[in-house]
A and B are shown apart, each in its own frame.
Chain A
Amino acid sequence: QMTQSPSSVSASVGDRVTITCRASQGSGSWFAWYQQKPGEAPKLLIYGASSLQSGVPSRFSGSGSGTDFTLTISSLQPEDFATYYCQQAGSFPLTFGGGTKVEIK
Chain B
Amino acid sequence: QVQLVESGGGVVQPGGSLRLSCAGSGFSFSSYAMHWVRQAPGKGLEWVSLISHDGNEQYYADSVRGRFSISRDNSRNMLHMQMNSLTTEDTALYYCARGMGDSKPRSRYFEDWGQGTLVTVSS
Contacts and interface: CB of A to CB of B under 8 A. Distances in A.
With a 10 A CB-CB cut-off, give which of B47, B110, B113, B116 has the most chain A CB atoms. B110
Among B50, B95, B100, B114, max chain A CB count under 10 A is at B100
A25 to B, nearest CB: 15
A3 to B, nearest CB: 13
Q: Main SS of the interface on chain A?
A: loop
Interface residues of A, number: 23
A47 B61 contact: no
A42 B113 contact: yes
Nearest to B95: A41
A97 B44 CA distance: 8
Nearest to B61: A93
A44 B116 contact: no
Given A89-B105, A90-B105, A44 B47 contact: no
Contacts of A96: 44-47
Dominant SS among interface residues on chain B: mixed
A4 to B, nearest CB: 9
A98 interface: yes
A62 interface: no
Interface string A68-93: 00000000000000000101011011
Contact of A98 (B44, B104, B110, B116): B44
A93 B59 contact: yes
A89 B108 contact: yes
B109 A41 contact: no
A18 interface: no
A81 B115 CA distance: 20
Nearest to A88: B108
Contacts of B111: 44, 53
Contacts of B113: 41-43
Interface string B97-110: 00010001110111
Interface of B: 44-47, 50, 59-62, 95, 100, 104-106, 108-111, 113-116
Interface of A: 30, 32, 34, 36, 41-44, 47-48, 53, 85, 87, 89-90, 92-99
